[in-house]
Amino acid sequence: MSSAVAGRFSSLLRWLGITLVVLLALQLLAVLSVNGWGDESFRQLLSSTLITQSPMALVGMLLMLLGARLEDPLSGPNPLRWTVCVISGVLALALLFTVPATISGDQSLSDQTNQSLQAQRGQLELAKAQLDNPKVLEQVIDQGVQNGQIPEAASDEEKKKAARAFMESQLQQAENQIKQVETRRDLALNQRRIGGTGTAVVLVIAFALLALAAVL
């Protein structure tokens, strides 16, 4: 590769890298333009934006560093490489601070979901206890007869069986819904722990290595 071609290619890499870093800055600026530091949801949004968009900046600074190396492989640290080092270090520290924030958010989300599930479980147990309540059974029979779900000409025993079967069906549906919520909770928490906290830790290491590579 001639020096002229290498120069043009390195310049292209640098501008591509700068573009990706600017895109991250714009994403963060969109969040930071709202002054909501006292709001937990704001901090979670900022952490999520930083974690999900930082890989783009990582690639961008790698392109910038490759462009600088390609242009002059033997040169020492220059302003561009120092810029990569500083930005990488800042992002590494920022991501490091997001780790406790994401862990706190995970715990808060888990507590809220568990409280909701506990309330639903309590309501379900109360509803199950009504299966043997004659008054409740009579109300279900009356409603079933009015709605045409229970034949009016059926015997009392048949009406009770039909009412009990209807109540058990409703309880089973509620049980299934609670299990679905529990499954979604587990999936969401695993996604946040692995895709959020785990990704943040990996990115901290990656940006720290990039900062070192920029000045070595």
Distance (Å, rounded) from C-alpha 169 to C-alpha 154? 20
Distance (Å, rounded) from C-alpha 98 to C-alpha 90? 13
Residue 10 has pLDDT above 90, yes or no: no
Q: How far from 165 is each of 145, 149, 160, CA to CA, in Å?
A: 14, 11, 8
Q: Which of 37-41, 86-90, 143-147, 186-190 has the highest mean pLDDT?
A: 86-90
pLDDT confidence bin for 2, thresholds 50/70/90: low
Burial of residue 210 (CB within 10 Å: 0-12, 13-18, 19+) is: buried
pTM of structure? 0.70
- Residue 3, pLDDT score: 61
pLDDT confidence bin for 210, thresholds 50/70/90: very high
pLDDT confidence bin for 54, thresholds 50/70/90: very high
Q: Which of 33-37, 82-86, 109-113 has the highest mean pLDDT?
A: 82-86
- Residue 168, pLDDT score: 81
State the amino acid at position 42 in one-letter form: F
The H-assigned helical ranges of 74-155 are 79-129, 134-147
Half-sphere exposure of 4 (CA within 13 A, CB side): 0
- Residue 7, pLDDT score: 66
User: What is the mean pLDDT of the segment spanning 51-69?
Assistant: 91
Distance (Å, rounded) from C-alpha 132 to C-alpha 110? 35
Of 31, 47, 46, residue with least CA distance to 103: 47
Give the range among 24-38, 89-103, 127-141, 175-189 with minimum mean pLDDT: 127-141
Distance (Å, rounded) from C-alpha 146 to C-alpha 75? 89
Taking a C-beta distance cutoff of 8 angstroms, is the pair 89, 211 a contact? yes
- Residue 181, pLDDT score: 84
